A and B are shown apart, each in its own frame.
Chain A
Amino acid sequence: MTTKTNTDTLKNGNANGENGIPKYSSKDFSSDQDVRWCPGCGDYTILKQVQNVMPDIGVLKKDIVFISGIGCAARFPYYMDTFGMHSIHGRAPAIATGLKVSRPELSVWIITGDGDSLSIGANHFVQLLRRNVDVNLLLFNNQIYGLTKGQYSPTAPEGTISKSTPFGSIDHPFNPLQLSMGADGTFIARAMDRDPKHLQKMLLRASEHKGTSMLEILQNCIVFNDGAFELFTDKKSRPRETIYLEHGEPLIFGTDHEKGLRLDGLTPEVVELSSEFSKDDLWVHDEKDKTKADLLTRFFEHPHNGEHLKFPRPFGVLYDVDRPTYDEGVTIQNAEALKRSKPDLDALLQGPETWEVS
């Protein structure tokens, strides 16, 4: 570009003078602001895990940006010692798109809640996924509007008793992962606040993926929706009601790893690993297989009074494929335009046809 950007010069600055990343600790990513979530809120552990993985994503601190909408979750950027913007309700994906497209070298993270992303900002959420902008979206799903003090959200199961639905909600909830599949997302994963190790792993995977990484994090709102995910987070029921996905590994779960998922054609079934079925009969997880990923997103029963679920809720990376990113496409097209014709403002101002007046 002949338009010399002041940012070009800035881009090259690096604390070490070389291209190496300084050895950051998680503390380096903690800002001086007091964290103001309710004591016991799931947001704390998510913040902690994000701060823990930041040193390992291979990006200079000056190049990391957190952008959020509005909600309890959306306070997140204030607590990160990176660049950050706490914006307006639902619009973080659009703001992040503008930032990433103009500054593709930045590592851009979107922090959003279930109301933020799936109610007011649902349009931007699906458009982001379809465009496949290379950003990471962390969806803090607590199935409730926390900040406005406890109304049901678009992920709240039917019948949810909340401030605005004293007789139970009538809305049918979104399945965020299936919605993401429908929007042709290229990275779709699920984690929970109560399994920090796994959450860390998922954050790293999200960071590695080129394209929009959609990571749903089940997050407990201790004040307005405590225990919504207990069936999945409770150490006792977790092995039975969840399944942790590993690429290339058979789908096994259960307290004693005694159960597995098998595909009968395209129909999934839960089988007992006994004499009839062995590991070799099971469905092997393939993150690149859209059909299988799609089936996994459908395991989405809502726990009812602790009742056992027919299919376990999947955690891990359901889907991870490559598709050209929007920001990359823009960069290429802009570069090609520049190659085709040098910017010449005087020629442009003059236009195709002129005449002289003397």
Chain B
Amino acid sequence: MTTKDQVREEVTIRFAGDSGDGMQLTGSLFTNTTALLGNDLRTLPEFPAEIRAPAGTVPGVSSFQLHFGSTEIMTPGDVCDVLVVMNSAALKANLSLLKKGGIIIANTDGFDKKNLNLAKYPEGVNPLEDGSLDSYRVYEVDVSSMTKEALSETDLSYKEVDRCKNMFVLGLLFWMYNRPVEPTIKFLQKKFEKEPRIADANVNVLKTGYHFGETAEIFSSRYTVEEADLKPGTYRNITGNESTVLGLVAATQKSGLPLFFGSYPITPASDILHGLSRHKNFGVTTFQAEDEIAAVSSAIGAAFGGHIGVTSSSGPGIALKGEAMGLAVMLELPLVVLNIQRAGPSTGMPTKTEQADLLQAMYGRNGESPMVIVAPKSPADCFNMAFEACRIALEHMIPVMYLSDGYLANGSEPWKFPQEKDLKDIKVRFEPPRENSDEPFLPYLRDENHVRSWAIPGTEGIEHRVGGLEKEDGTGNVSYDPDNHEKMVKLREAKRNKVADFIPLQEIDQGKPTGDVLVLGWGSTYGSIRTAVGQLRRDGMDISHAHLNYISPFPRNLEELLRGFETVIVPEINNGQLVRLIRDEFLIPAKPINKIKGRPFGVQELKDAILNILSEKQTVTES
């Protein structure tokens, strides 16, 4: 049989196996090589909440989806073209995500009686044999035994041999998609520098997989995906949590201030703690606190001392930080709170994504407690918004909530990274020391933006007290005066609102600036909305897309922009939160699209939902 060479504009591959099968690594390595070849791409890793759920079972399945192409790629793909399954549980858990007619590469060893039982297939049923997969192209490959054979000459233990399996699959897919193995070989040699026999074994199996594709003559096609038309420049691949870390580090350099990071581990935020703890040379201190309350409190302590105070968590931990965030609002100290949202309420679905903490960020503290809210829209954008969160907190002496989520945190994309000189300077206003001044120091004196100066301990002559009790404007002395309280509540709100003068105006991402339909999104839904709206526009629809990075306060021109459209549609991965804020703030009958399944929007489902809303509207106007 001869293999046809075919060109594809875009491809989605999903690697799925047991959590012990190394699918995340396999996916990342395929991604890295793909990025090096100049494709645009997005990834979506999905892993079980348990560290080692029982091997072979459906809850133990870990997957990694990669969407790459020669065109603009903004989502990890609704459905995949190729599904790699290391065992029967992986097939069971992922088959619904495979296109009809798609390719299944199945490790036959994972479909023995034991594995079928573990995956809870009925007695005697093997999906590889019962015809249920007839509408797909199935390639059965005995990965385990070919791996064993490739390593028969080595002295590796059974376990060590088994761990190399994923390299076989990776090699095979490199062959299928015309990608070189060299970058991976380099990686393996570096990773196992101290254990050359393991490095050699992995390289050996990787090549075996590649050669298998070449020689086995079972694959009818081989695919090429050309370079994408990305903006010229130097790129790297980056996940959302990684770029969040870089945004914070960049803020230290552009403000000239050290950063204190207090955090308590929680999925999917922990990688920020891990990442930052490696950058102490940039003046970053990381503190793994005893709980989230201590984490945010320590950051407030550091902020009182003149450092950039940052804390991070996810839903349950953010709930715990509530009281302390209120303190930061009251003290008027800069504080950055990173919420890497996950599906809630309560413990919810820790490894699944959701955007359901927006109203908590907006209103989830006691009293009138306004914070600034920003939200990154893509993995690389996490860099910009983490930097912005620091800038706003420091320049406006106000706590800022940064709303990322599990999808952005773990997803990755190519990033045309900036240089230090391209980044804005962050200007802080420390209260200067004073000597023998008769005038009392007024810690809550404000500038024209309602911002007080940062009066830090160690500064001569400005000793003063701050606290969570209501304070008199100017002096900061405790005050129970009714008029003063109302004044202070309004002042703190005015200070937050004033931030609108220091953020960019809202732009239309694509489409006309006024027209029939505007799809308004925020945060991680950017890629799905952009792709869906792009496709609808190509189909001839008058539809535009705007995406919010700044939610509290809203950009100054947002109302005007919204009023330029007949219909405003707000898709969110929650039960309708931004849509409420928009309706409330502007009295615009915005229409929600909601998905609450722990997964991002698929492009097709989003298009369907948009069309659905518009057709309903039409029926109403027609009747």
Binding site for B on A (CB under 8 A): 1-7, 10-11, 13-15, 31, 33, 60-65, 67, 70, 77-78, 80-88, 91, 93-103, 105-106, 123-124, 127, 330, 333-334, 337-338, 340-343, 345-346, 348-351, 353-358
Question: Chain A contacts of B458 at CB under 8 A?
Answer: 7, 10-11, 62-63, 103, 105-106
> In the complex the two chains form, is B430's CB within 8 Å of A106's CB?
no
Tell which of B63-71, B299-307, B353-361, B548-556 binds the partner: B299-307
Which of A14, A64, A86, A98 makes the CB contact (< 8 A) with B302? A98
- Cα–Cα, bound, A148→B299 (Å): 28
- Cα–Cα, bound, A94→B236 (Å): 38
Instruction: State the Cβ distance, A182 to closest chain B Cβ, in Å.
Output: 15
- Cα–Cα, bound, A351→B469 (Å): 46
Question: Chain A contacts of B474 at CB under 8 A?
Answer: none
Given that A103-B305, A357-B230 are contacting pairs, would A10 and B456 also be in contact in the complex, using a CB cutoff of 8 Å? yes
Known: A86-B467, A86-B468, A351-B417. 10 other contacts (CB 8 A): A63-B458, A84-B466, A88-B327, A88-B468, A94-B293, A343-B282, A349-B419, A350-B417, A351-B238, A353-B36
> In the complex the two chains form, is B301's CB within 8 Å of A3's CB?
no
> In the complex the two chains form, is A84's CB within 8 Å of B465's CB?
yes
A/B pair count, beta carbons within 8 Å: 236
Which 10 A-B residue pairs are closest in the complex by CB-CB distance?
Answer: A98-B301, A86-B467, A98-B298, A94-B297, A337-B280, A99-B301, A94-B294, A95-B301, A3-B283, A84-B465
> In the complex the two chains form, is B463's CB within 8 Å of A61's CB?
yes
- Cα–Cα, bound, A334→B289 (Å): 18
Which residues B437-463 have CB closer than 8 A to chain A? 456-463
- Cα–Cα, bound, A210→B262 (Å): 23
> In the complex the two chains form, is A343's CB within 8 Å of B306's CB?
no
Which residues B410-440 have CB closer than 8 A to chain A? 416-420, 428, 430, 433, 435
CB nearest to A32 among chain B residues: B440
CB nearest to B254 among chain A residues: A345
> In the complex the two chains form, is A1's CB within 8 Å of B420's CB?
no
> In the complex the two chains form, is B467's CB within 8 Å of A357's CB?
no
> In the complex the two chains form, is A77's CB within 8 Å of B257's CB?
no
> In the complex the two chains form, is B467's CB within 8 Å of A87's CB?
yes
Question: Chain A contacts of B435 at CB under 8 A?
Answer: 15
Question: Chain A contacts of B272 at CB under 8 A?
Answer: none
Question: Chain B contacts of A343 at CB under 8 A?
Answer: 253, 281-283
Given that A99-B302, A349-B250 are contacting pairs, would A342 and B281 also be in contact in the complex, using a CB cutoff of 8 Å? yes
- Cα–Cα, bound, A338→B306 (Å): 20
Given that A3-B283, A4-B256, A15-B460 are contacting pairs, would A33 and B38 also be in contact in the complex, using a CB cutoff of 8 Å? no
Question: Chain A contacts of B477 at CB under 8 A?
Answer: 33
> In the complex the two chains form, is A85's CB within 8 Å of B298's CB?
no
> In the complex the two chains form, is B430's CB within 8 Å of A6's CB?
yes
Question: Chain A contacts of B35 at CB under 8 A?
Answer: 355
> In the complex the two chains form, is A106's CB within 8 Å of B297's CB?
no
Instruction: State the Cβ distance, B128 to closest chain A Cβ, in Å.
Output: 38
- Cα–Cα, bound, A67→B281 (Å): 29
Given that A5-B257, A62-B457 are contacting pairs, would A101 and B236 also be in contact in the complex, using a CB cutoff of 8 Å? no
Instruction: State the Cβ distance, A184 to closest chain B Cβ, in Å.
Output: 15
> In the complex the two chains form, is A85's CB within 8 Å of B253's CB?
no
0 or 1 for each of B240-276: is its CB under 8 Å from A? (1 = yes): 0000001001101100111010100000000000000
Instruction: State the Cβ distance, A115 to closest chain B Cβ, in Å.
Output: 16
- Cα–Cα, bound, A220→B230 (Å): 73
Question: Chain A contacts of B430 at CB under 8 A?
Answer: 6, 10
Instruction: State the Cβ distance, B328 to closest chain A Cβ, in Å.
Output: 10
Question: Chain B contacts of A87 at CB under 8 A?
Answer: 297, 300, 327, 467-468
> In the complex the two chains form, is B287's CB within 8 Å of A98's CB?
yes
> In the complex the two chains form, is B262's CB within 8 Å of A98's CB?
yes
- Cα–Cα, bound, A354→B327 (Å): 43
Given that A7-B458, A85-B304, A95-B301 are contacting pairs, would A357 and B466 also be in contact in the complex, using a CB cutoff of 8 Å? no
Which of B36, B234, B293 makes the CB contact (< 8 A) with A350? B234
Given that A88-B323, A101-B302, A354-B236 are contacting pairs, would A127 and B467 also be in contact in the complex, using a CB cutoff of 8 Å? no
The DSSP consensus for interface residues of chain B is mixed
Question: Chain B contacts of A346 at CB under 8 A?
Answer: 419-420
A-B contact pairs, 27 of them (CB 8 A): A3-B257, A3-B282, A5-B283, A5-B306, A6-B256, A7-B306, A60-B460, A67-B301, A70-B468, A77-B467, A84-B467, A86-B467, A88-B323, A91-B297, A95-B304, A98-B298, A98-B301, A98-B304, A101-B285, A101-B287, A102-B302, A338-B281, A343-B283, A349-B250, A355-B36, A355-B234, A357-B227
> In the complex the two chains form, is A1's CB within 8 Å of B301's CB?
no
> In the complex the two chains form, is B290's CB within 8 Å of A127's CB?
yes
Question: Chain B contacts of A61 at CB under 8 A?
Answer: 463
- Cα–Cα, bound, A60→B433 (Å): 14
- Cα–Cα, bound, A1→B302 (Å): 17
> In the complex the two chains form, is B304's CB within 8 Å of A124's CB?
no
Instruction: State the Cβ distance, A162 to closest chain B Cβ, in Å.
Output: 25
Which residues B205-245 have CB closer than 8 A to chain A? 227, 230-238
Given that A338-B280, A346-B419, A354-B236 are contacting pairs, would A5 and B258 also be in contact in the complex, using a CB cutoff of 8 Å? yes
Instruction: State the Cβ distance, B191 to closest chain A Cβ, in Å.
Output: 12
* B32 CB–A CB distance under 8 Å: yes
> In the complex the two chains form, is A81's CB within 8 Å of B283's CB?
no
Which of A340, A355, A357 makes the CB contact (< 8 A) with B281? A340
> In the complex the two chains form, is A127's CB within 8 Å of B294's CB?
yes
Question: Chain A contacts of B125 at CB under 8 A?
Answer: none
CB nearest to A66 among chain B residues: B465
Which of B282, B306, B433, B478 makes the CB contact (< 8 A) with A78? B478
Question: Chain A contacts of B238 at CB under 8 A?
Answer: 351
Question: Chain B contacts of A333 at CB under 8 A?
Answer: 280
